[in-house]
């Protein structure tokens, strides 16, 4: 089955909103109106999407290209605006012998039951089935069409724009049509008032010949967007059908990868019409300025939480007590709780509320292999409690890679959904290398970049050891480490190693960089090196890759499975050999990295991440 989306109209009644764009490209919460229908087609698992275009056709073609979520898109041009039936006739050759789902690109349906509609169409061998909704407002019904039907839903008369509707049924443009219906176009009369063939009259011809045409209650919420009032009604309809989300995180004062994720998620939820706020121990002016419309709610407390994290088990327990009280107070104002880093995951239990956990990494009280026996026993007990709390209070767990998926299944005996983090490709692809070269004196250097907080887990010492191994082969090599230390002991270890091996001229520490400086540095890099351990460091390699420069990552990095899946870079444990390989074959690696950058742009956007999280929120909300 194919999908046929009619998108040729101008939308003159929308005035200034469509003055310079096709009506179907009008944005509803950062998404063109037609895209909601493209998503319906994808949900229905059609084999091909045919879009009939006309006015400003290049807007649609340029934006969507020839594929949507892996489904082929074919375009048909309607040269003259002669109505819906003519648009269908224009697409007849591309439809071929397939049955098809008809959609109007200027329609907004919330959560349409297309799969149920398809099932009924096939099971009862219908000639056509028309998606309808029930509407109290008779004037609203008069804007589309209605139908007279029996108790089983079989239609015996369709009425175009009824002046005095006899029932509450309101027709939508979402109809499933048997291919043979195309033969009825020639026999369809021309409407005397409009001078064109009408969709309702076309379907009525088949009804008059005894063909089985049924109505199907496809949605509770429907608007055909023809006026500015319709547009605003659609926005309000989307808002009301989205859950209100409370994002729960430890702190929003110190801006790292986890906090970036929360900010991007919050902003994209706002853009997509999802009311959201953030519960955190702290905030900074920087973070507040980045947020579009989300409030950071800070409970009363006396915890001074700063990197690398909580100072003791006592402080963790104090945090849980504070948050548990605050969530109990707040939860009536939200429909879904969205947890991020531990220990927030312990703060809902034993209360109940629809809950989604973005599992960045499973919590652990110790991360070093030389931990004492007492701490290991305590950790086993905590892991047991953690499993029982999560299984009791969290509805859906989301993870960003296969590595954490396996860990989730092992720890919690729950199968999580895979939701890749987002990357701001537009921002990180826009760096200016000359700025970084001048600022850090990088001229005529082979620049190796590692970004991120300086910690044992991020493994900057391994990068330094790698530079030591390659400096004879790459005499102009320079390792640029961007980030601030969070572990004084580890930083001392690094400095001692550099001094002992006389590597001062091969290593540059920039300290913590702003995002603009960081993207300039990425653009100036010859390669990114990330020998990161099993936890943390997911975003940095992909942010660097946006610059179009190659990356080398460790086999242990959680995101290594994503790098392998799309062939985005090199996954290895032999960093020195791979660094030399990049040095000797720079043009080849640069070509591959630029192609990989486009893959990141297509598949790892924050908007895609937010869409997947919204799906999880809605599913948890329904439960």
What pLDDT digit, counting tens, does each position of 427-486 carry?
999 999 999 999 999 999 999 999 998 999 899 999 999 999 999 999 999 999 999 998
Tell whether 462 and 477 lie within a shared domain. Answer: yes
Number of separate domains in the chain = 3
pLDDT of res. 536 = 67
| Interatomic CA distance for residues 21 and 44, integer angstroms | 28
Query: What percent of the chain is predicted at pLDDT more than 90?
Result: 81
What pLDDT digit, counting tens, does each position of 113-123 carry?
999 999 999 99
Tell whether 615 and 594 lie within a shared domain. Answer: no
Contact call for residues 18 and 41 (beta carbons, < 8 A): no
User: Mean pLDDT in the chain?
Assistant: 93
| Interatomic CA distance for residues 310 and 341, integer angstroms | 12
| Interatomic CA distance for residues 489 and 478, integer angstroms | 24
357: confidence class by pLDDT, cuts 50, 70, 90: very high
pLDDT of res. 487 = 82
pLDDT of res. 360 = 87
Tell whether 226 and 261 lie within a shared domain. Answer: no
558: confidence class by pLDDT, cuts 50, 70, 90: confident
Tell whether 273 and 412 lie within a shared domain. Answer: yes
Tell whether 536 and 402 lie within a shared domain. Answer: no
E strand residue ranges, 82-227: 100-104, 107-109, 128-134, 145-149, 155-160, 169-177, 213-217, 222-224
| Interatomic CA distance for residues 202 and 198, integer angstroms | 6
Its domain, for residue 22, covers 2-240
Tokens of 491: 């930083």
Tell whether 271 and 171 lie within a shared domain. Answer: no
Tell whether 372 and 267 lie within a shared domain. Answer: yes
What pLDDT digit, counting tens, does each position of 270-296 carry?
999 999 999 999 999 989 999 999 999
Tell whether 293 and 171 lie within a shared domain. Answer: no
Higher pLDDT, 193 or 53: 53
Tell whether 74 and 154 lie within a shared domain. Answer: yes
């Amino acid at each position: 089955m194919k999908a046929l989306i009619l998108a040729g109209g101008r939308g003159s009644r929308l005035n200034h909103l469509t003055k310079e764009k096709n009506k179907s490209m009008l944005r509803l919460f950062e998404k063109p109106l037609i895209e909601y229908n493209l998503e319906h087609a994808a949900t229905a698992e059609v084999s091909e999407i045919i879009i009939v275009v006309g006015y400003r056709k290049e807007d649609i073609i340029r934006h969507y290209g020839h594929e949507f979520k892996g489904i082929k898109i074919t375009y048909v041009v309607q040269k003259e605006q002669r109505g819906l039936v003519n648009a269908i006739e224009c697409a007849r050759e591309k439809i071929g012998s397939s049955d098809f789902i008809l959609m109007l690109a200027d329609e907004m349906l919330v959560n349409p039951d297309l799969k149920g509609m398809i099932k009924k169409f096939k099971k009862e061998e219908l000639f056509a089935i028309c998606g309808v909704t029930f509407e109290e407002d008779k004037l609203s019904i008069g804007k589309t069409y209605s139908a007279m039907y029996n108790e089983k839903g079989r239609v015996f008369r369709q009425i175009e724009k009824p002046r005095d509707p006899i029932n509450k049924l309101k027709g939508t443009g979402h109809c499933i049509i048997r291919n043979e219906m195309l033969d009825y176009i020639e026999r369809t009369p021309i409407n005397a008032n409009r001078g064109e063939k009408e969709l309702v009259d076309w379907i009525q011809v088949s009804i008059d010949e005894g063909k089985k045409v049924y109505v199907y209650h496809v949605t509770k919420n429907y608007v055909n967007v023809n006026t500015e009032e319709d547009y605003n009604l659609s926005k309000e309809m989307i808002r009301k059908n989205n859950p209100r989300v409370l994002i729960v995180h430890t702190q929003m004062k110190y801006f790292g990868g986890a906090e970036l994720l929360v900010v991007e998620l919050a902003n994209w939820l706002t853009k997509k019409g999802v009311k959201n706020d953030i519960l955190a121990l702290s905030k900074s002016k920087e973070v507040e300025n980045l947020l579009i419309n989300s409030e950071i709610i800070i409970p009363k407390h006396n915890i001074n939480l700063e990197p690398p994290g909580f100072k003791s088990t006592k402080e963790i327990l104090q945090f849980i007590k504070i948050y548990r009280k605050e969530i109990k107070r707040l939860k009536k104002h939200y429909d879904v709780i969205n947890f991020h880093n531990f220990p927030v995951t312990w703060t809902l239990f034993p209360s109940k509320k629809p809950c989604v956990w973005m599992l960045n990494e499973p919590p652990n009280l110790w991360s070093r292999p030389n931990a004492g026996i007492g701490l290991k026993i305590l950790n086993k007990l905590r892991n047991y409690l953690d499993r029982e709390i999560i299984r009791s209070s969290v509805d859906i767990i989301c993870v960003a890679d296969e590595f954490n998926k396996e860990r989730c299944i092992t720890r919690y005996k729950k199968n999580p959904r895979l939701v890749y983090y987002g990357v701001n490709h537009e921002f990180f692809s826009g760096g200016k290398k000359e700025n970084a070269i001048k600022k850090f004196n990088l001229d005529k250097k082979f620049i190796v970049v590692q970004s991120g907080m300086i910690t044992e887990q991020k493994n900057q010492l391994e990068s330094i050891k790698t530079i030591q191994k390659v400096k004879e082969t790459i005499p102009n090599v320079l390792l640029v480490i961007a980030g601030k230390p969070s572990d004084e002991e580890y930083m001392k270890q690094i400095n001692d190693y550099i001094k002992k091996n006389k590597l001062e001229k091969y290593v540059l520490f920039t300290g913590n960089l702003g995002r603009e400086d960081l993207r300039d540095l990425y653009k100036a890099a010859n390669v990114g090196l990330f020998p990161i351990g099993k936890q943390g460091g997911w975003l940095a390699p992909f942010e660097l890759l946006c610059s179009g420069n190659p990356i080398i990552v460790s086999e242990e990095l959680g995101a290594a499975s994503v790098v392998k899946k799309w062939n985005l870079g090199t996954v290895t444990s032999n960093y020195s050999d791979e660094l030399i390989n990049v040095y000797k074959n720079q043009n080849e690696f640069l070509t591959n990295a630029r192609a990989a950058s486009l893959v990141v742009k297509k598949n790892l956007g924050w908007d895609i991440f937010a869409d997947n999280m919204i799906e999880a929120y809605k599913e948890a909300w329904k439960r």
